[in-house]
Structure 1
């Protein structure tokens, strides 16, 4: 045994040795340290071999347990519904996954909770998701993913990478289009679904790259429709993004720009935001997606013109409810109260009026006497979210919208409003 150990140590030393040193040159101190350590290890091994082993007590004789059969697995009559759902999701992912991409962003001022890209030199780099929109290499993503980027790279499901050019952006819908000059063989675009038909309770499937984990699938349900997200702020006010889809499918930083799909694999939304608790940036069970109806409306303009003009009324507004109506002394307890009319604006030209009376006590600077919008295009509106949603779905800049308003004197009138593009 001692002979074999010494032979083994000789082999170890040979493996760690370097070529002979020239005469008069000291050996590399690193090699000396290795040789010293090996010598110490050999000495310890020899001491262990020479030491008298400590006897171990005999193992106790354990009784033999009675045989027990494994727990039976569930039968096909119980598992088939779930197995059918599994097969559906596997097939959905197999078909949709090639069209979903990860986007590497260089030189972007992304939010701090977006994951960084390993290996890129710019500390401000970030990452997001997107999906193939057509067979010409156009990819839809979020505006906040690519805004102020200096360079973009797209990663496809098979590891293929391609540089991408920024085609157009729309901060007001948080949508953007980029384009790659080549596509992997056989990769086709996703199909846009009809987001107007989306209902609460339907299955929602998100595919994206959360925290850089490329092409991740998560499943949930549509938790709400007709939500509104805060949009960009300009000198004349803050705009909102209407008709947002709410989902509990897990969405995290890096999912931004990826598709939200229905059970048929159609795009019903573009994942864009999550609700987080204060001081936290992880998913809290509430995610938001820009609806496919907005994608269908905005993206063609981004491809052809690089921008999209949203319709603009030129008013500030407040949603009415029973409590608000009582405090304001109004007979109408639902609709949209006009609190300010911009000048110049479509609303001013159409003769819409904001309150001009004395400020109402306890209501900040709110003044009584403003018009109340109760319908647009013959469709009744309960609040500002619904008004903005109908405006976004059904009208473009240059269209005329017919508003039904209740005046301060209680009369109801129809007002033609020629919509401008947002300034």
Structure 2
């Protein structure tokens, strides 16, 4: 894998100076605004991206019995190795089926994969030190998840899934994985927040939004990506994916844990891995538009609501069929007012082709609504 790449938590910068704008707001080619803030990096090591309770139960005060949790869950946690033309590195993974299915982060395996083909090599090291070649079952860059398969006589110890919908802030948890290549590492902490949305780079060089992420202060570092976040019963409640870092004077991040890590919730993990195992792919829908963010401060200069300015429309796509046009200003998506590009991406992660989404938009100072039937994304 190459050097660790960084993104940022949703933060829009100031828009253009109103005095410099001569054309009406609805005709201006707005650029997508992004801003500075706490950097969020995906956890991985080497040449690419890397990821980055309760005694006697999954809720309550105190801390997990880390020894008991380790004995129960650590045998199911593996180190993932990816090598390809773009570099090499390692992350972590968890065995989700005794027949050899392993979930990890997509950005962990990305250096060895082009599209759906393995163009390099993939391998895993089991908790007992045995190294096995791995094959790719399927990948989903949009949720940063991938499934691998290995073969071993006698099968593998699989981890039990927990219910991430039942996770509560303050709940003790344990993180397991291979930070900085150190396999069989265990750290403990709590769930410090729920339902975070993270804008992250994908292993293919794009951008995605992870929704509903669990935030934890359990130490997570590069190499932990794809590893297990478990409750005090050793059940998988999340897949460790990213960490926040404090930007330095040049805008970069330190790359190490500051106690703010994020995991894809297990309910999402289970749904996505089921689809990948069944068909090798996940069909995410698409709005069929490209947009630029009109920030609140920029919108105020023009006396219009903040939202998303449509800069292009895919012919025959969801927005086109719903009557949207270039220049329309989307001011609401479902119940979300003042939407950002991250909100738009979040809908496509949660929804399925055929779902209907109501959008409110402004066209030449007149407010309109449309119900869009989401079409499959041609790229998924």
Question: What TM-score do you get using the length of structure 2 for normalisation?
Answer: 0.69
Deviation at 1:193, TM superposition (A): 2.4
Q: How does 1:67-106 map to 2 (within 5 A)?
A: 85=62, 88-106=65-83
Specify the alignment match of 2:216 in structure 1: 247
Query: CA deviation digits over 1:371-396, x for unaligned, max 9?
Result: 324242xx445533445434422x21
Structure 1 range deviating more: 247-256 or 200-209: 200-209
Specify the alignment match of 1:140 in structure 2: 103
Please tell me the root mean square deviation across aligned C-alpha atoms, in Å: 3.0
Specify the alignment match of 2:324 in structure 1: 352
Q: What SS does the corresponding residue of 2:73 show, helix, strand or coil?
A: helix
Q: How does 1:7-156 map to 2 (within 5 A)?
A: 85=62, 88-107=65-84, 109=86, 124-149=87-112, 150-156=120-126
Cα 1:343–1:107 change in 2 (3 A) is closer
Q: What SS does the corresponding residue of 2:79 show, helix, strand or coil?
A: strand
Q: What SS does the corresponding residue of 1:294 show, helix, strand or coil?
A: helix
Structure 1 range deviating more: 214-223 or 406-415: 406-415
CA distance, structure 2, for counterparts of residue 155 and residue 391 of structure 1: 34
Asked which structure has the greater CA Rg, the reply is 1
**Contact 1:177–1:303 (CA under 8 A) maintained in structure 2:** yes
Instruction: Pick one of 166, 178, 181 that aligns with 1:212.
Output: 181
Higher relative contact order (CA 8 A, sep 6+): 2
Q: What SS does the corresponding residue of 1:218 show, helix, strand or coil?
A: strand
Q: How does 1:194-213 map to 2 (within 5 A)?
A: 194=164, 196-213=165-182
Question: Which blocks of at least 5 consecutive residues in structure 1 are unaligned?
Answer: 1-83, 110-123, 356-369
Question: Which blocks of at least 5 consecutive residues in structure 2 are unaligned?
Answer: 1-60, 113-119
Deviation at 1:239, TM superposition (A): 4.2
Cα 1:216–1:415 change in 2 (3 A) is same
Specify the alignment match of 2:377 in structure 1: 421
CA distance, structure 2, for counterparts of residue 273 and residue 186 of structure 1: 27
Specify the alignment match of 2:198 in structure 1: 228
CA distance, structure 2, for counterparts of residue 324 and residue 143 of structure 1: 36
CA distance, structure 2, for counterparts of residue 212 and residue 350 of structure 1: 49
Query: CA deviation digits over 1:140-159, x for unaligned, max 9?
Result: 01122222433333222233
Looking at secondary structure, tell me which structure has more strand per residue: 2
**Contact 1:108–1:147 (CA under 8 A) maintained in structure 2:** no
**Contact 1:246–1:289 (CA under 8 A) maintained in structure 2:** yes
Cα 1:280–1:380 change in 2 (3 A) is closer
**Contact 1:108–1:146 (CA under 8 A) maintained in structure 2:** no
Cα 1:312–1:210 change in 2 (3 A) is same
Deviation at 1:198, TM superposition (A): 4.2
CA distance, structure 1, for counterparts of residue 299 and residue 151 of structure 2: 57
Deviation at 1:251, TM superposition (A): 1.1
Specify the alignment match of 1:262 in structure 2: 231
CA distance, structure 2, for counterparts of residue 223 and residue 152 of structure 1: 34
Specify the alignment match of 1:296 in structure 2: 270
Task: Tell me whether 1:341 sits opposite 2:312 in the alignment.
Answer: yes
Looking at secondary structure, tell me which structure has more helix per residue: 1
Deviation at 1:136, TM superposition (A): 2.2
Task: Tell me whether 1:402 sits opposite 2:357 in the alignment.
Answer: yes
Task: Tell me whether 1:163 sits opposite 2:133 in the alignment.
Answer: yes
Cα 1:158–1:91 change in 2 (3 A) is same
Cα 1:157–1:207 change in 2 (3 A) is same
Task: Tell me whether 1:389 sits opposite 2:346 in the alignment.
Answer: yes
Question: What TM-score do you get using the length of structure 1 for normalisation?
Answer: 0.63
